[in-house]
Chains A and B, each alone.
Chain A
């Protein structure tokens, strides 16, 4: 197919044009004028001010309740490890969704997938949730037993390291992850800050001027930007795996005697990717609905994310089953204790709905192409997955932290603890930390457009609708 044919085809296809709100749609491909893109997306930082204020107040109140709950719980139960399971579960949940979402902005970009362009900003903003995660982690780190307890060294991945190594390293690692996420978020936003500086007035212009740091879009600046995105993206991915490795081994496996599960860090990291995809879908759904971004967050984005969510739900069950069959079939004392503690024991009430909502329901829901090619279908699937993941984290961490610390040196768990139900402080922490996370992401989108302007404009340059036999296609450039 030659270029001449392409031009001719584009002309023919004009007959099929439908007018979207401010773009020109040719057979499913929207052509947007650069100025319209800038105006619309820069405008999102001030859109819906009344609704934003209302939600900001609600979420701030929730965040304050959460913080109060955290402080009160620490004052009341700082000497009892078994009462901190729900806080550990919340920290794990926030790490799961907040840590995983930026990968949606990284992995498809490295694979040159164009559908992800309108989603990169949304996804990378969730790295800010790391601030809330670190606050929730403070009492947990204080309560986590040292490496040497009762005169003996407990099992850990730190072997002969000094006593407080896990406590220091988890903070260092989570801090580095947060910095890498912020670096990714800020770097990808640089050209958009410049757009705000050049195409807006007042507060937004001042912010744009301050944050754009002299961005004028020279060839060198673009080259550096791409290099930085690649570096931050790769570093973020490696740090995320490392943080999951530390978190799972120190805050779950390390507190249960005899639990040795090499796949568990990868299971945790994989479900983090699943949670990241789910929360990105929810955020995209909200952005499309409340900010009028139908031309930007289109069916293609929901369809592609729906497929990824479907695939990650399959991976969830694969990783879960890979561990389960080994414990179930192995039937050593430690294996039986694992099955009793995490599956059929005190947390079965969380395990069964977690299994349904992390795998069975999303699998059966998203397997249908008609569901995936809709906006609400993937969003419903994503909401179910998020609830499932919270329950899964509760299953794992509440069970683990319920084990009395005096059994930590045993070869395997001899007594399965009873069910631990959340107290009022746990409810406050759960609601508050989720509220604080939503607030921090919302605030980020008052600072920078929710959809990346430069990535949207770049896709407009790189794609072109063409006629293909009797149908339509899009010619998508793949620069090196």
Chain B
């Protein structure tokens, strides 16, 4: 299936650079609105830091709540970039081309946002330094470098550095393009950022090889990041529901499910807002939805295994926890919503081609997935902690406070705000990928039929 039409390079430049060379009318009011929301969010964070974690619902034994859930959620979203950009690049999936930039960008901004949550969750953010940096060897007080809590920031910051580099390398040809089409301070900015890009064969070769190498190098980091996040929980036998060997791949596949769904949401918005109908086409949504069916089904399989082998032990506390998660109010309602929005509704709808090619339905179903995936993380983290455990005489349930909900909303506004700011200065659809796809896509005549074909370079 190909819905593309031939678009020459001038037209491609004109349409895809309209965010930078012209400012759309909706852009400024939206950015101002989001900016105000972001400032309010920072004020709330400041208030919480000033007053302490008492303004949240966190209390023993539930010491990890909405902040850690949201941290895991944003780390999950960050898996979109490498999944789309690196894996699909290595497997030469042609349909990836218009999607890559947005996915990489989502990775960088969601990682930046994720990093904020453990910081603010600490209550006194400056004390985070004590976890990471050695500060008193004399008394034997230094971080346990074997702990996933130390591996976490290392993995995430490596991933952030790599993803930023990945984004930047792929941006170079477009920066050269912008440099040649702007004047004044913008030209100076793009000249500096383009690093002398002229588009000669040597530069193209380096850029291509760099992209492939970074793709291959980023893959292990991509897998390690969410695995390490999962081990924050899984290596703790004291909390029922956490000590499971399946957590690492289960978290990674869940992250891919939620990240790719977030890319679908973003693609729909980009198509509507910038009117890029010729570039972000139903066939791209169709391909992503088919990928998501596979990913989501694998994720459901892992969910099933996790549940079966939790009950397998027949240990009373483990069974009590699962009863709490599935049958007790309000967890039962959350469980149903999580299952329906995370799998049943979206995948059930994606089985139909008409849905996969319908941008509005894809937008809503992909949003559903992320509601479900946020709930999934919440249901993994909180019930295990709120259960009565032996020798612990303080037990309580957990109800997030308005401060916590506000900070969750702030994080969504913050990522959107950053994306819109980026879109003002840099193209969200890679121009060079778009132009390359015009060369690589063709047709072969077989009998009387014309079949879509892809050019593959020979070694």
Contact = CB atoms under 8 A, between A and B. Distances in A.
Nearest to A1: B442
Nearest to B318: A260
B287 to A, nearest CB: 11
Contacts of A325: 231, 234-235
A318 B231 contact: no
A168 interface: no
Interface string A262-289: 1111100000000000000000000000
Given A266-B249, A466-B455, A155 B244 contact: no
Given A28-B458, A262-B244, 4 more contacts: A319-B249, A326-B231, A332-B237, A475-B442
A479 B451 contact: yes
Interface stretch (B119-127, B153-161, B301-309, B378-386): B301-309
Contact of B301 (A241, A261, A318, A331): A241
A147 B310 CA distance: 18
Contact of B227 (A28, A241, A314, A322): A322
B249 A322 contact: yes
Interface string B236-254: 1100000111111100000
A454 to B, nearest CB: 15
Contact of B457 (A6, A159, A323, A468): A468
A471 B458 contact: yes
A138 interface: no
Nearest to B297: A238
Interface in A65-80: none
A323 B230 CA distance: 12
A156 B308 CA distance: 10
Contacts of A471: 457-458
B237 A330 contact: yes
B454 A263 contact: no
Nearest to B313: A260
B446 A6 contact: no
Contact of A262 (B306, B452, B454, B459): B306
B1 interface: yes
A264 B235 CA distance: 17
Contacts of A332: 237, 243
Interface residues of B, number: 43
A28 B459 CA distance: 8
Interface in B105-153: none
B456 A462 contact: no
B311 interface: yes
B353 to A, nearest CB: 10
B311 A159 contact: yes
B245 A261 contact: yes
Given A322-B248, A323-B245, A468-B455, A3 B445 contact: yes
A462 B245 contact: no
A-B residue pairs, 5 tightest by C-beta: A262-B246, A262-B309, A329-B235, A322-B248, A477-B451
Contacts of B306: 262
Interface in A434-480: 461-464, 466, 468, 471-480
A2 B8 CA distance: 14
Contacts of A249: 312
Contacts of B309: 157, 260-262
Contacts of B220: 314
A453 B220 CA distance: 39
A28 B458 CA distance: 7
B10 interface: no
A335 interface: yes
Interface in B423-459: 439, 442-446, 451-459
Given A474-B456, A478-B453, A155 B444 contact: no
A246 B91 CA distance: 33
B303 to A, nearest CB: 10
Contacts of A262: 244-246, 305-306, 308-310
A379 B1 CA distance: 37
B237 A335 contact: yes
A156 B59 CA distance: 37
Contacts of A463: 444
B442 A155 contact: no
B305 A473 contact: no
Specify which of B234, B246, B314 lies most central, judged by the most chain A CB atoms within 10 Å of its CB. Answer: B246
A179 interface: no
18 contacts: A1-B455, A29-B458, A155-B313, A157-B309, A159-B311, A266-B246, A314-B220, A318-B248, A322-B246, A326-B244, A327-B245, A331-B237, A332-B237, A472-B458, A475-B455, A477-B444, A477-B446, A477-B452
A253 B444 CA distance: 53
Nearest to A329: B235
Interface string B294-329: 000000011001101111111000000000000000
A27 interface: yes
A313 interface: no
A330 B458 contact: no
A473 B246 contact: no
A45 interface: no
A373 interface: yes
A462 B455 contact: no
B325 to A, nearest CB: 16
B305 A476 contact: no
Given A329-B235, A373-B459, A475-B453, A263 B444 contact: no
Contacts of B245: 261-264, 322-323, 326-327
Contacts of A474: 455-456, 458
Nearest to B146: A329
A476 B443 CA distance: 9
B223 interface: yes
A108 to B, nearest CB: 10
A371 B446 CA distance: 36
Given A1-B455, A319-B249, A466-B455, A326 B302 contact: no
Contacts of B314: 155, 159
